[in-house]
Amino acid sequence: MLPFYQKYWRTAFDLAVIAFTVWLVMFVFSYLYKIATPVFLSFLIFICIEPLAKRLHRWGLKKSIATGISMLLFILVVLSILAGLGYIFYNEISELSQNLQTSHDELARKASAIAADWQQRFNSLPPEWTQRIGSAFSKVTEWGSEAASLFLKWLIDSLMSASSFVFNVSIALILAYFLSLEIDTWKRLGSERSPKTLKIAFAFLKENVFRGIASYLKAQGILISVTFAVIFIALLILRVPNAFAISLIAGIFDLLPLLGVQTLFIPWIIYLFIVGDNDLALWLTGLLVLVNVTRQFLEPRITGQTVGVSAFTMLAFAMISMSLFGVAGLILAPILMILLKALYDQGYFKRWIRLPREEFAVSPLEPQPRPAGSEAPEGADVP
The band of 383, judged by pLDDT with boundaries at 50, 70 and 90, is very low
Same domain for 353 and 287, yes or no, is yes
Provide the 3-class DSSP secondary structure of residue 227: helix
- Exposure string of 337-371, with b = 16+ CB inside 10 Å and e = fewer, is bbbbbbbbbbebbbeebbbeeeeeeeeebeeeeee
Same domain for 181 and 200, yes or no, is no
Instruction: Report angle CA 268, 259, 315 to the nearest 5 degrees.
Output: 155
Q: Which residue has the higher pLDDT, 288 or 136?
A: 288
Distances (CA, A) of 128 to 123, 140, 141, 150, 361: 12, 18, 20, 32, 64
CA nearest to 71, candidates 81, 63, 82: 63
The reported pLDDT for the residue numbered 255 is 72
Pairwise CA distance, residues 327 & 125, whole Å: 53
Residue 2 lies inside a defined structural domain of this protein? no
Same domain for 181 and 253, yes or no, is no
Residue 1 lies inside a defined structural domain of this protein? no
The reported pLDDT for the residue numbered 378 is 40
DSSP structure string for 248-265: HHHHHHHHSTTT-THHHH
Same domain for 241 and 189, yes or no, is no
CA nearest to 44, candidates 163, 164, 173: 173
Q: In which domain, by residue range, is 59 found? A: 10-193
Lowest mean pLDDT among 171-175, 265-269, 344-348, 360-364: 360-364
The band of 379, judged by pLDDT with boundaries at 50, 70 and 90, is very low
The reported pLDDT for the residue numbered 90 is 65
Pairwise CA distance, residues 383 & 381, whole Å: 7
Residue 78 lies inside a defined structural domain of this protein? yes
- Name the DSSP class of 362: S
Greatest mean pLDDT among 240-254, 297-311, 318-332, 352-366 = 240-254
Q: Which residue has the higher pLDDT, 36 or 286?
A: 286
**Per-residue pLDDT tens over the stretch 6-62:** 777 788 888 888 888 888 888 888 888 778 888 888 888 898 898 898 889 888 888
97-123 mean pLDDT: 59
**pLDDT surpassing 90 at residue 200:** no
Position 66, amino acid: A
The band of 372, judged by pLDDT with boundaries at 50, 70 and 90, is very low
Q: Which residue has the higher pLDDT, 198 or 172?
A: 172
Same domain for 96 and 47, yes or no, is yes
Same domain for 189 and 202, yes or no, is no
Pairwise CA distance, residues 247 & 119, whole Å: 40
Beta strand residue intervals within 135-280, DSSP E: none
Lowest mean pLDDT among 32-36, 136-140, 197-201: 136-140
The band of 283, judged by pLDDT with boundaries at 50, 70 and 90, is very high
- Name the DSSP class of 209: I
Same domain for 55 and 138, yes or no, is yes
| The overall pTM is greater than 0.85 | no
Residue 239 lies inside a defined structural domain of this protein? yes
Pairwise CA distance, residues 240 & 258, whole Å: 26
The reported pLDDT for the residue numbered 204 is 78
Pairwise CA distance, residues 20 & 177, whole Å: 37
Lowest mean pLDDT among 57-61, 154-158, 169-173: 154-158
Same domain for 229 and 277, yes or no, is yes
Same domain for 79 and 155, yes or no, is yes
Residue 148 lies inside a defined structural domain of this protein? yes
> Which of 161, 193, 225 is the C-terminal boundary of a domain?
193
Q: Which residue has the higher pLDDT, 206 or 69?
A: 69
Position 357, amino acid: R
Q: Which residue has the higher pLDDT, 219 or 238?
A: 238
> Which of 173, 193, 213 is the C-terminal boundary of a domain?
193
> Which of 193, 220, 239 is the C-terminal boundary of a domain?
193
Please list, in sequence order, all residues whose beta carbon lies within 8 angstroms of the beta carbon of residue 180, skipping any fewer than 6 positions away: 46, 49, 50, 53, 63, 67, 70, 71
CA nearest to 294, candidates 352, 223, 345, 364: 223
Residue 131 lies inside a defined structural domain of this protein? yes
Same domain for 260 and 318, yes or no, is yes
Instruction: Look at the chain and report how many structural domains it folds into.
Output: 2
322 touches 329 (CB < 8 A): yes
Q: How far is CA 193 from the centre of its chain?
A: 37
Residue-level length of the chain: 383
Same domain for 147 and 228, yes or no, is no
Residue 200 lies inside a defined structural domain of this protein? yes
Q: Element (H or E) spanning 298, and its range?
A: helix 278-299
Q: Which residue has the higher pLDDT, 123 or 56?
A: 56
Same domain for 189 and 206, yes or no, is no
